[in-house]
Amino acid sequence: MRHNVLFNIRQFKMKNNNQNTALVTGAASGLGYELALLLAKDNYNLILIDIDAEKLEEAKQNILKDYQPNITLMVKDLSVVNIAEEIYKEISNIEIDVVINNAGFGLFGTFCDTDWEREAKMLNLHILTSTHLLKLLLPDMVNRGSGKILNLSSLAAFQPGPLMALYYASKGYILSFSEAISNELKGTGVTVTALCPGPTKTSFQSVVSENAAENKIAFNMACPKDVALYGYNAMQKGKVVAIPGAINKFLSVLPRILTRNRTTKIVRKIQDKNRAS
């Protein structure tokens, strides 16, 4: 597999020196796939990364039905420590113009009772891998004076989340980190956007809890195509924080209106009702 990836990347570089290239994690389905489609429509070549080889190949074939980008697939477990360095070594000869850190998953339950091994994988994925990948790719972008980054945060970033404590906290990190480096990068030609969607109809819901495959509360459930388009346009414009939907914008400021303590209690009640078996 590694030999094939390196061969594809060499071919990729030889054939596509004049086109921009985008790297998308979690690209096999959901928002990652929809964002990859938008990039292909705008004539970007694609490096698509996901842990699911079968779905990743399916995503590639679906994209090629309508568009003709050069697509390199990388089957990687992004929850593994130092996986970002492995990826960077395999693509170091390619100029990356866009980075979309989309891969992620959630975990439901009280912190006292949830599985640490799975939580560690989530934290490695959401925080370490996404941060390390940018640490490696950003200097090249800054040296060239251009680049766009889209980090997938969440509406969850704006308040604590009982029963999904580490997920909410990790999304808060992504938002804070994105805002900070966006400020640092002013004047460099590189922009950073944090996309903060509310509930979105993707496969995310089916892996959050073994006891609840679907949200019981369907209120404010967004279409992934719409969320992806909103985030994509915000990234292209260099917007720092992108919150799709008027309801979500209101909910993002609710902790300032009701206090964080009261908002935390409301989130707990919603989680209890939404995911309890």
CB 110 within 8 A of CB 163: yes
3-state class (DSSP) for residue 192: strand
Specify the DSSP class assigned to residue 231: H
Residue type, 169: A
CB 170 within 8 A of CB 123: yes
Residue type, 55: K
Handedness of CA 135, 141, 146, 151 (dihedral sign): negative
Q: Give catalytic status of residue 88 as yes or no.
A: no
- In terms of phi and psi (left: phi > 0; alpha: psi -120 to 50; beta: otherwise), the region of 110 is beta
Active-site pick, 167, 168, 230, 232: 167
Q: Which helix (H) or strand (E) holds 107?
A: none
In the structure encoding, which two tokens stand for residue 213, read together? 């495959």
23: phi then psi, degrees, rounded to nearest 5? -110, 130
Active site residues: 167
